[in-house]
Amino acid sequence: MTSIASGTVLLTGPTGGLGRSTTLALANRPASQRPDLLLLGRLGQALAEVADEARAAGATVYEIGCDLSCLAEVRGAGQQAKELLDAVAVRPLHALVANAGLSVADTHTASADGYELTFAVNYLAHAQLIGDLLGSLTAPARIVLLGSNTYHQNIFRRILHVPPARWRDPIELAQPTARSAAATSELSWTAYSDSKLALMYYAHELQRHAPHGVNVIVFEPGFMPGTGLSRANGPTLQRVGRLVEKIPGVSSPVRSGPLLASIVLDQRWAHLRDGAFVLKDEEREVKPIAIDPRREARLWEATAELLDAAR
């Protein structure tokens, strides 16, 4: 059977944190297990540096410039990836990793298309990119979405004041908070949790629409206080994060990057599909709220409406 590593992996958000660590974990594989890489992110020094480091490890790498907060740029990036594939500049596309993500402090903030920024970048941009490239994937193929256990509440997240998702109709989730409403940390984290629950619903529905041999997986890297996600939510959370990261067993980009690279490439995970949820290196059952065919179908329908309206 053809292996995932015999082709190309497209990864969003490769310049920092988990994305950078995953990129280098992929690039530093032995030559027989090393895919070609399409790195999609903002053009600039950070993207150039990680691309150069991956090339120095032996990987074939192309940088694709894209601001995920602008759907026109996402569509352009998808077209550029298709052109590279059609020109055989890289091997067939066997994996797409929707890694990029953010959490903004102010849910009043809108994307270039007028959508709430967290929902726009974490969810809509990846739905656009995957939709554009779904027909370009060559089986066996994997689509890996970055999930988060913040979709539900537990004692640890309650202590850190990280609220769970508060699901509403996707058209409502896509709207920035009214300017008359106060900007709060709770709103920003709820928006983040909502975007991650959307990705889980999307994963289940995407599998129903994906071609045979294209498997959809959700990867949760674990709480990573060393990433930039807490940066917009105040110095207190950042200080807590730096302390928590020192605890043995707590996730970090350096620890989680190779785990994500394994999910993308290794035969061990070839059986996963239907939005299977993997926490670090263990498949886990999700809470009942994360599986809802009616919500999933409505999200698919609403996503098409939102993406069409941005053209």
pLDDT at position 187 is 81
Distance, CA of 57 to CA of 174 (rounded, Å): 40
Report whether pLDDT(250) > 50. yes
Q: Are 70 and 112 in contact (CB under 8 A)?
A: yes
- With respect to residue 69, please indicate whether it lies within any of the assigned structural domains: yes
Number of separate helices (H) and strands (E) present in the chain? 11, 8
| Per-residue model confidence (pLDDT) at position 150 | 82
- In a domain, residue 16? The reply is yes
Q: Which has the minimum average pLDDT: 49-53, 156-160, 269-273, 296-300?
A: 156-160
Is 42 a domain residue?
yes
* Total number of domains in the chain: 1
Element spanning 282, H or E: strand 282-284
Task: Name the token pair of 301.
Answer: 């329908």
What CATH number does residue 245 fall under?
A: 3.40.50.720
Lowest mean pLDDT among 120-134, 175-189, 197-211, 220-234: 220-234
* Per-residue pLDDT band at 178 (split at 50, 70, 90): confident
What three-state secondary structure class fits 95? strand
Any domain includes 130: yes
When pLDDT is cut at 50, 70 and 90, the band that residue 108 belongs to is: confident
3 in any annotated domain: no
Average pLDDT over residues 83-105: 95
Percent helix / strand / coil, the chain, rounded to 5: 50, 15, 35
Helix axes 253-265, 17-27, angle to 10 degrees: 50
Tell me 289's DSSP state: G
The answer to whether 200 and 151 have CB atoms below 8 angstroms apart is yes
pLDDT of residue 254: 87
Query: Is 19 inside any structural domain?
Result: yes
CA distance 237 to 176: 24
Q: How far is CA 301 from the centre of its chain?
A: 20
Average pLDDT for the chain: 90
Lowest pLDDT segment from 39-53, 142-156, 162-176, 262-276: 142-156
State the pLDDT at residue 253: 83
Q: Which of 79, 125, 99, 96 is nearest to 38 (CA)?
A: 96
**Residues 22-69 pLDDT 10s:** 999 999 999 999 999 999 999 999 999 999 999 999 999 999 999 999
Quick check: 231 pLDDT over 50? no
Q: What is the mean pLDDT of residues 240-255?
A: 67
Half-sphere exposure of 128 (CA within 13 A, CB side): 30
CA end-to-end distance (rounded Å), the chain? 40
- Highest-confidence range of 116-125, 163-172, 226-235, by mean pLDDT? 116-125
The model carries a pTM of: 0.92
Place of tokens 């990036």: 77
The proportion of the chain whose per-residue pLDDT surpasses 90, expressed as a percent, equals 76
Question: Is residue 2 in some structural domain?
Answer: no
The reply to whether 125 falls in a domain is: yes
**Confidence band (pLDDT; 50, 70, 90) for 234?**
low
- The more confident residue out of 133 and 151 is 133
Residue 148 structural domain: 8-310
DSSP state of 115: S
- Helices 293-309, 185-209: crossing angle, 10 deg rounding: 100
